[in-house]
Structure 1
Amino acid sequence: MIDSSEGYLLGYDLGSSSIKASLLSVNSGEVLASATSPDQEMAMEAPQDGWAEQDPEMWWEHLVKATQALKAKHGTALSQVKAIGISYQMHGLVLVDQNHQVLRPSIIWCDSRAVKIGREASQALGDKYSLGHLLNSPGNFTASKLKWVKENEPDIYKRIYKMMLPGDYAAMKLTGEICTTVSGLSEGIMWDFREQSLAGKLLEYYGINPDFIPTVVPTFADQGNLTKESADHLGLPAGIPVAYRAGDQPNNAWSLNVLEPGEVATTAGTSGVIYGVSDQLDYDPQSRVNTFAHVNYSKQDPRYGILACVNGTGIQNSWLKNNLVGGNSNIDYEAMNLLAAQAPIGSAGVTVLPFGNGAERTLANAEIDAHIHGIKFNNHSQSHILRAAQEGIVFALKYSFDILQGMGMQIRKVKAGRANMFLSPIFREAFANTTGAEVELYNTDGSVGAARGAGVGAGVYADFKEAFAGLKQVGEVVPEPEKQSQYQEAYERWHTLLQQHLASAKAL
């Protein structure tokens, strides 16, 4: 199916920290080049405690800049792009008017303002509907965020033409078309899996006009073509199809060729995630994990992505860099990893709860904040705190891991891209020995996965197998029995501390 002539696929990863663009060779399946914009993390605005917003125009600005950086070095390759794919930060809300102008900043994934709205909806509609039809409680997801706008910003609500997820917005800017996917609607808790349609009962309860929902297109398909105006901004030929879009966690699993029941992916970038694939219409009775339509979901052959998330992952690492080791110093994340390695397993009693980035789904939407415990001024240093912070994220993922195992998922092996926190030897070691799972590392990331997805959607690749010909395993981490007991002891200390804080939060 692959054309013998050279060609490239362009993938974008629209994160809340940065925008990454990657060029993938169609023939070799290898990355020619990648570029990221901005150099520092993009700002998150918090007009009130627990809020998190970003300007969608900022995403577009940095998408353009990342593309132009590729063009500066690989202009010829950009002229041979066959298709474009998009990965994006999940659960955000973007609102536009009839002229496609943004009406307010995007309420992004880690914003907690709609927790109460989602809780009340879940109680009113009941578990039989919420969990049986939506596979999740409405929670703090996109539909609940739109209800918040309806209640609190009626003048903006009256001007809404369409609501979108962040990836839908990026596709609109590229093509001028407003559309979404079943996978995207499911992440916004706007898809009824039993009825195979929009979640009409929830939308009716919220009083949301279903006309706000964009046209639904397949995940892998021609979803619109690059307009001349956008092509001129980007330095690309007009007419290139946008042929794939998916939320960052389904896309991460796709990037790792995690598509079949029992397969599991993990990532630790902006958020930390365990993501398993199932073919069973199942859910956690406490709705501590989320079940979405995976990228290869279909009514005839369903594939569900079961996602457990830790919000305070990348932002914790960034906070430590800027506030503990000094934002203006020469210490980068690699140097922080080296400092962390100077401390022993268990960080000599220092314990970090990494929950300082809004309400946490795995904690039943509790918001307990981040905590550093056990510091002794005569015994501990930066190294102990930095290691405890990495261990704290791993322990939060282990807590999530156990929820998935409790749902019947047997996890003995997980796949991860060699990127973000999985670049840290300490993090990799802690993950394998705390969970007891073997970790396979691969040469991929979100933008590369989006490029591969575009190749499938545009028909450049005949099937999934052909798309993953260039995916290579580049490392492996296996549990070590002598270390597992040490990590288990540290995890039990962490877990006891977590339960104390959860009990305190419930008592308030």
Structure 2
Amino acid sequence: MYYLGLDIGSSSIKAAIVDIASGKSIGVVQEPEKEMSMFAQKNGWAEQEPEDWWKHVCNAIKKLQKQYNISANSIKGIGISYQMHGLVIVDENGKPLRKSIIWCDSRAVKIGNDAFNVIGEETCSSALLNSPANFTASKLKWVKENEPEIYSKIHKFMLPGDYIAYKFSNTINTTISGLSEGIFWDFKNDQIADFLMEHYGIDKALVPDIVETFGKQSVVGAKGEKESGIVAGTPIFYRAGDQPNNALSLNIFKPGEVAATGGTSGVVYAVTDSLSVKESSRVNNFAHVNYKKGADVRIGKLLCINGAGIQYRWLLNNLAVDSYENMNQLAENILVGSDGVCLIPFGNGAERMLNNKEIGTRILNLNLNNHHKGHLCRAALEGIAFSFVYGVEILKSDGIKPKVIRAGNDNLFRSEIFAKTVSTLIGQEIEIYNTTGATGAARAAGLHEGNFENFGKNIMDNDHVMTFKPLNDKAPYLEAYNKWKKELELILNKK
């Protein structure tokens, strides 16, 4: 018997099957094979068709069943992970009224910033744990202001994962974790953020019913069965945004546990039991998957680094190198500190952790007589690693005391230079696991039974790859980091 996990990304849909008894991953597929398209009618906009997500979900399920010989009636539950902060609005028949405004769309920045200034930093920090910023609530306000005819027809708003669950079940609901990522949740009073809804003039009737993150949220209906191939009556047991779900996939639930991701962008996601917020302008705070209303406070502090893997990929595309492996080998021949070459990797737009400043990528201290592409490769890995360390320092200033750090076995964390640099500078082991968001969502479907201990054991038994330990000789790493940090602060002080 199996659980099905889905990861609804903006690039692709991933579907995974895990064995219920052992928690072992049976297989993962992706749809479409090439990246999904985005619509950008104006600069800074990003939209996708919700129906396209559903089409690719159905295709992925069929591919998964065929490739791994999985019968429909052997799937006993569904878990869903999804791209955070997106907005889906539907009419009373459940039909989308417009394309989804997705996470990387920046049209609502001014709306959120204005709300932050009017409502006040103290209220936003203590109740929302964030600025309203460019999150889902602000995007809904943008629709109200700019597309009033569409807004007047809204029956409910949803997050992307809510919409996929609805397509399976014909039932509209959401979770506290989901509402918090949209900045609809008042943590101070443990309820929907009425004051923000009133400020934006949004009717509370548009909010879906709230269900537990783990539990029988809904079941597949007749239409869902016809389109997806999943048997009617199959329960949807779990739903969460991609970053909380990535943390769950790495068995991150307790205060002091930290999940790290080193993909196109980098993420450091730390769990705390405190509602105290000191860095709301640089760190996002959401209800973690195991947050309980009126009970366990579990907040996920999310620090994003836009300029991470995209920097290393740019070098791959523009240097005379064959692969990341080739780049890593070139970097290994260069000593710590890259012989003075310093790379500031923030070339992927504004960086929230730098107070939304856009400083770009900078290569400093390059000597054309002595330095070559090996120095650039090492400097890039070190520069990205240093940005992670800088981010951890911000989280520490916000009250986080890392006890455990875990990361997926992908992208940057496959580089020994990168992983050892981060581990050594923060003085913490980094455990590497071979897992995916879709696999984590599939396993999480079993948490409706509440067996978190067994869930963690399955991850440890099946997925652990290696552990990077801090090196004894920290001095050269610290010297290189301090030089990098000095260069960064010189740039920031000029902005």
TM-score (norm 2): 0.91
Task: Give the C-alpha shift of residue 356 in structure 1.
Answer: 3.6
Q: In structure 2, do the counterparts of structure 1 residues 103 and 262 end up closer, same or farther at CA, with 3 Å as the change threshold?
A: same
Partner of 2:477: 487
CA distance in 1, matches of 2:346, 2:149: 34
Aligned 1:89-488 pairs, distance under 5 A: 89-298=83-292, 299-321=294-316, 323-324=317-318, 331-457=322-448, 459=449, 462-472=450-460, 473-482=464-473, 484-488=474-478
Q: Secondary structure at the match of 2:143?
A: helix
CA distance in 1, matches of 2:169, 2:272: 33
Q: In structure 2, do the counterparts of structure 1 residues 174 and 374 end up closer, same or farther at CA, with 3 Å as the change threshold?
A: farther
Deviations along 1:77-118, one digit per CA (max 9) or x if unpaired, are 554111110111212222223333333333322333322222
CA distance in 2, matches of 1:155, 1:500: 49
Correspondent of 1:86 among 74, 77, 80: 80
- Of stretches 197-206 and 258-267 in structure 1, the one that deviates more from structure 2 is 258-267
Q: In structure 2, do the counterparts of structure 1 residues 372 and 155 end up closer, same or farther at CA, with 3 Å as the change threshold?
A: farther
Question: Residues 29 and 469 of structure 1 are in contact (CA less than 8 Å); yes or no, is this contact kept in structure 2?
Answer: no
Q: Secondary structure at the match of 2:79?
A: strand
Q: In structure 2, do the counterparts of structure 1 residues 344 and 54 end up closer, same or farther at CA, with 3 Å as the change threshold?
A: farther
- Of stretches 95-104 and 183-192 in structure 1, the one that deviates more from structure 2 is 95-104
State the AA in 1 paired with 2:387.
Answer: A
CA distance in 1, matches of 2:402, 2:437: 23
Partner of 1:65: 59
- Of stretches 350-359 and 27-36 in structure 1, the one that deviates more from structure 2 is 350-359
Question: Residues 3 and 75 of structure 2 are in contact (CA less than 8 Å); yes or no, is this contact kept in structure 1?
Answer: yes
Q: Secondary structure at the match of 1:51?
A: coil
Question: Residues 289 and 307 of structure 1 are in contact (CA less than 8 Å); yes or no, is this contact kept in structure 2?
Answer: yes
Question: Residues 251 and 446 of structure 1 are in contact (CA less than 8 Å); yes or no, is this contact kept in structure 2?
Answer: yes
Task: Give the C-alpha shift of residue 283 in structure 1.
Answer: 0.8
State the AA in 1 paired with 2:354.
Answer: L
The runs of 5 or more residues in structure 2 that have no matched partner are none
State the AA in 2 paired with 1:223.
Answer: Q
- Of stretches 151-160 and 162-171 in structure 1, the one that deviates more from structure 2 is 151-160
Task: Give the C-alpha shift of residue 44 in structure 1.
Answer: 4.2
State the AA in 2 paired with 1:302.
Answer: V
Task: Give the C-alpha shift of residue 183 in structure 1.
Answer: 0.7
Q: Secondary structure at the match of 1:305?
A: strand
Question: Residues 16 and 270 of structure 1 are in contact (CA less than 8 Å); yes or no, is this contact kept in structure 2?
Answer: no
The runs of 5 or more residues in structure 1 that have no matched partner are 1-6
CA distance in 2, matches of 1:172, 1:203: 24
The total of aligned residue pairs comes to 491
Q: In structure 2, do the counterparts of structure 1 residues 468 and 490 end up closer, same or farther at CA, with 3 Å as the change threshold?
A: same
Deviations along 1:41-73, one digit per CA (max 9) or x if unpaired, are 434444444333333333333323322221222
Q: Secondary structure at the match of 2:457?
A: coil
State the AA in 2 paired with 1:454.
Answer: A
Task: Give the C-alpha shift of residue 344 in structure 1.
Answer: 4.1
TM-score (norm 1): 0.88
CA distance in 2, matches of 1:317, 1:213: 41
Q: In structure 2, do the counterparts of structure 1 residues 173 and 56 end up closer, same or farther at CA, with 3 Å as the change threshold?
A: same
CA distance in 2, matches of 1:131, 1:199: 13
Correspondent of 2:27 among 23, 26, 33: 33
Question: Residues 412 and 436 of structure 1 are in contact (CA less than 8 Å); yes or no, is this contact kept in structure 2?
Answer: no
Partner of 1:3: none
Task: Give the C-alpha shift of residue 264 in structure 1.
Answer: 1.8
RMSD over aligned CA atoms reads 2.6
